[in-house]
Amino acid sequence: MDVVLPGLYASEPSTLPFDTTLVIRSFLLQRSAGNLLVYRADKLEQDAEAVAELGGVARQYLNHRHEASFSSDWAAERFGAPLLVHEAEAQDVSKSSPVNETFSERHRLGDDFEIIPTPGHTPGATAFLWDSGQHRALFTGDTIYHAVVNRKEAGQRLDAVLERVRAGEDH
Protein backbone atom coordinates (compact mmCIF):
# COMPACT_ATOMS: atom_id res chain seq x y z
CA MET A 1 0.00 0.00 0.00
CA ASP A 2 1.10 3.50 -0.76
CA VAL A 3 0.87 6.23 1.86
CA VAL A 4 -0.80 9.13 0.05
CA LEU A 5 -1.21 11.41 3.06
CA PRO A 6 -1.07 10.74 6.78
CA GLY A 7 -3.96 8.33 7.41
CA LEU A 8 -4.73 7.82 3.71
CA TYR A 9 -3.48 4.66 1.99
CA ALA A 10 -3.87 3.57 -1.64
CA SER A 11 -3.74 0.11 -3.13
CA GLU A 12 -1.56 -0.65 -6.08
CA PRO A 13 -3.38 0.11 -9.34
CA SER A 14 -5.52 -2.77 -10.62
CA THR A 15 -6.19 -3.13 -14.33
CA LEU A 16 -9.87 -3.35 -15.14
CA PRO A 17 -10.87 -6.62 -16.81
CA PHE A 18 -13.11 -4.97 -19.40
CA ASP A 19 -10.50 -2.42 -20.53
CA THR A 20 -6.81 -3.00 -19.81
CA THR A 21 -6.02 0.67 -20.44
CA LEU A 22 -7.98 1.59 -17.29
CA VAL A 23 -6.85 1.17 -13.69
CA ILE A 24 -8.51 1.57 -10.31
CA ARG A 25 -7.22 1.89 -6.76
CA SER A 26 -8.85 1.34 -3.39
CA PHE A 27 -8.31 3.89 -0.65
CA LEU A 28 -8.19 3.16 3.06
CA LEU A 29 -9.02 6.12 5.31
CA GLN A 30 -7.68 5.60 8.81
CA ARG A 31 -10.09 7.11 11.34
CA SER A 32 -10.53 6.88 15.09
CA ALA A 33 -14.25 6.22 14.47
CA GLY A 34 -13.42 3.22 12.25
CA ASN A 35 -11.52 2.91 9.00
CA LEU A 36 -13.31 3.36 5.70
CA LEU A 37 -12.60 1.67 2.39
CA VAL A 38 -13.43 3.80 -0.64
CA TYR A 39 -13.69 2.01 -4.00
CA ARG A 40 -12.90 -1.61 -4.60
CA ALA A 41 -9.77 -2.85 -6.37
CA ASP A 42 -8.55 -6.43 -6.22
CA LYS A 43 -4.92 -5.48 -5.48
CA LEU A 44 -5.79 -4.26 -1.98
CA GLU A 45 -6.61 -7.81 -0.91
CA GLN A 46 -2.90 -8.70 -1.17
CA ASP A 47 -2.31 -6.09 1.57
CA ALA A 48 -4.92 -7.58 3.93
CA GLU A 49 -2.38 -8.01 6.75
CA ALA A 50 -1.28 -4.37 6.47
CA VAL A 51 -4.94 -3.30 6.44
CA ALA A 52 -5.49 -5.36 9.61
CA GLU A 53 -2.48 -3.71 11.29
CA LEU A 54 -3.96 -0.31 10.44
CA GLY A 55 -7.20 -1.24 12.21
CA GLY A 56 -9.11 -3.15 9.53
CA VAL A 57 -12.16 -1.84 7.68
CA ALA A 58 -15.32 -0.70 9.48
CA ARG A 59 -17.34 0.30 6.39
CA GLN A 60 -16.85 0.22 2.63
CA TYR A 61 -18.27 2.63 0.05
CA LEU A 62 -18.51 2.36 -3.72
CA ASN A 63 -18.65 5.31 -6.12
CA HIS A 64 -20.93 3.40 -8.51
CA ARG A 65 -22.06 -0.06 -9.61
CA HIS A 66 -19.16 -0.88 -11.92
CA GLU A 67 -16.76 -1.21 -8.99
CA ALA A 68 -18.68 -4.15 -7.56
CA SER A 69 -18.32 -6.40 -10.57
CA PHE A 70 -14.57 -6.98 -10.69
CA SER A 71 -13.40 -7.50 -7.14
CA SER A 72 -14.27 -9.86 -4.32
CA ASP A 73 -15.95 -8.77 -1.13
CA TRP A 74 -12.94 -9.73 1.00
CA ALA A 75 -13.33 -6.71 3.33
CA ALA A 76 -16.77 -7.95 4.41
CA GLU A 77 -15.52 -11.51 4.80
CA ARG A 78 -12.35 -10.60 6.71
CA PHE A 79 -13.44 -7.56 8.73
CA GLY A 80 -17.25 -7.74 8.71
CA ALA A 81 -17.30 -4.39 6.89
CA PRO A 82 -20.76 -3.57 5.54
CA LEU A 83 -21.04 -2.33 1.96
CA LEU A 84 -22.84 0.97 1.44
CA VAL A 85 -24.00 2.29 -1.94
CA HIS A 86 -26.42 4.85 -3.30
CA GLU A 87 -29.92 3.37 -3.51
CA ALA A 88 -29.91 3.84 -7.31
CA GLU A 89 -26.90 1.48 -7.53
CA ALA A 90 -28.07 -1.15 -5.04
CA GLN A 91 -29.92 -3.48 -7.43
CA ASP A 92 -26.98 -3.75 -9.82
CA VAL A 93 -24.36 -3.99 -7.05
CA SER A 94 -26.34 -6.73 -5.27
CA LYS A 95 -25.88 -9.00 -8.31
CA SER A 96 -22.24 -9.47 -7.30
CA SER A 97 -22.05 -8.36 -3.64
CA PRO A 98 -24.43 -8.11 -0.72
CA VAL A 99 -25.45 -4.49 -0.10
CA ASN A 100 -25.87 -3.81 3.61
CA GLU A 101 -27.06 -0.21 3.55
CA THR A 102 -28.12 2.39 1.02
CA PHE A 103 -28.35 6.17 1.03
CA SER A 104 -29.94 8.71 -1.32
CA GLU A 105 -29.00 12.13 0.00
CA ARG A 106 -25.91 14.07 0.90
CA HIS A 107 -24.95 13.41 4.50
CA ARG A 108 -22.03 13.04 6.89
CA LEU A 109 -20.53 10.12 8.76
CA GLY A 110 -19.07 11.66 11.87
CA ASP A 111 -17.42 15.03 11.48
CA ASP A 112 -14.81 13.96 8.92
CA PHE A 113 -16.50 12.06 6.06
CA GLU A 114 -19.14 13.42 3.71
CA ILE A 115 -21.17 11.37 1.24
CA ILE A 116 -22.10 13.47 -1.82
CA PRO A 117 -24.36 12.00 -4.52
CA THR A 118 -23.09 13.12 -7.94
CA PRO A 119 -25.37 11.47 -10.51
CA GLY A 120 -24.13 11.51 -14.06
CA HIS A 121 -21.80 8.63 -14.88
CA THR A 122 -24.50 6.43 -13.35
CA PRO A 123 -27.70 7.54 -11.58
CA GLY A 124 -26.25 6.81 -8.14
CA ALA A 125 -22.63 7.84 -8.64
CA THR A 126 -21.30 9.32 -5.40
CA ALA A 127 -18.28 11.36 -4.37
CA PHE A 128 -16.76 11.25 -0.90
CA LEU A 129 -15.02 14.07 0.95
CA TRP A 130 -12.70 13.19 3.81
CA ASP A 131 -11.27 15.81 6.15
CA SER A 132 -8.50 14.40 8.32
CA GLY A 133 -8.06 17.67 10.19
CA GLN A 134 -4.77 18.22 8.35
CA HIS A 135 -5.81 17.44 4.78
CA ARG A 136 -8.96 17.14 2.70
CA ALA A 137 -9.35 14.53 -0.03
CA LEU A 138 -12.20 14.35 -2.53
CA PHE A 139 -12.85 10.94 -4.08
CA THR A 140 -14.79 11.47 -7.31
CA GLY A 141 -14.59 8.02 -8.91
CA ASP A 142 -15.62 8.18 -12.55
CA THR A 143 -17.51 11.44 -12.03
CA ILE A 144 -14.40 13.50 -12.78
CA TYR A 145 -11.45 12.22 -14.76
CA HIS A 146 -8.78 13.60 -17.02
CA ALA A 147 -9.58 12.67 -20.60
CA VAL A 148 -6.50 11.60 -22.53
CA VAL A 149 -6.10 9.42 -25.59
CA ASN A 150 -3.91 6.92 -23.76
CA ARG A 151 -5.61 5.96 -20.49
CA LYS A 152 -2.44 4.36 -19.11
CA GLU A 153 -0.97 7.85 -19.38
CA ALA A 154 -3.80 9.11 -17.16
CA GLY A 155 -2.79 6.59 -14.47
CA GLN A 156 0.83 7.70 -14.78
CA ARG A 157 -0.28 11.33 -14.47
CA LEU A 158 -2.24 10.44 -11.34
CA ASP A 159 0.85 8.78 -9.88
CA ALA A 160 2.82 11.97 -10.62
CA VAL A 161 0.15 14.09 -8.91
CA LEU A 162 0.20 11.78 -5.88
CA GLU A 163 3.99 12.17 -5.69
CA ARG A 164 3.61 15.97 -5.72
CA VAL A 165 0.94 15.77 -3.01
CA ARG A 166 3.19 13.57 -0.88
CA ALA A 167 6.04 16.04 -1.35
CA GLY A 168 3.78 18.93 -0.34
CA GLU A 169 4.12 20.63 -3.73
CA ASP A 170 1.42 22.82 -5.22
CA HIS A 171 -0.25 21.50 -8.37
- For 22-53, how does the pLDDT look when each residue is reduced to its tens digit (9 = 90+)? 777 889 999 999 999 998 777 778 888 999 99
Quick: pLDDT tens for 74-106. Answer: 888 889 999 999 999 899 888 888 899 999 999
* Domains of the chain, first to last: 2-143 (3.60.15.10)
Cβ partners under 8 Å of residue 94, min gap 6: none
Q: What is the pLDDT of residue 150?
A: 45
Quick: pLDDT tens for 113-162. Answer: 999 988 877 787 888 999 999 999 988 877 655 454 444 555 555 565 55
Q: What is the pLDDT of residue 69?
A: 60
Percent of the chain with pLDDT strictly greater than 70: 78
Is the pLDDT score of 166 beyond 70?
no
Torsion 61-65-68-70 (CA) sign = negative
Question: How does residue 16 score in pLDDT terms, banded at 50, 70 and 90?
Answer: confident
Mean pLDDT of 59-87: 81
Q: Is 46 helix (H, G, I), strand (E, B) or coil?
A: helix
Is the pLDDT score of 163 beyond 80?
no
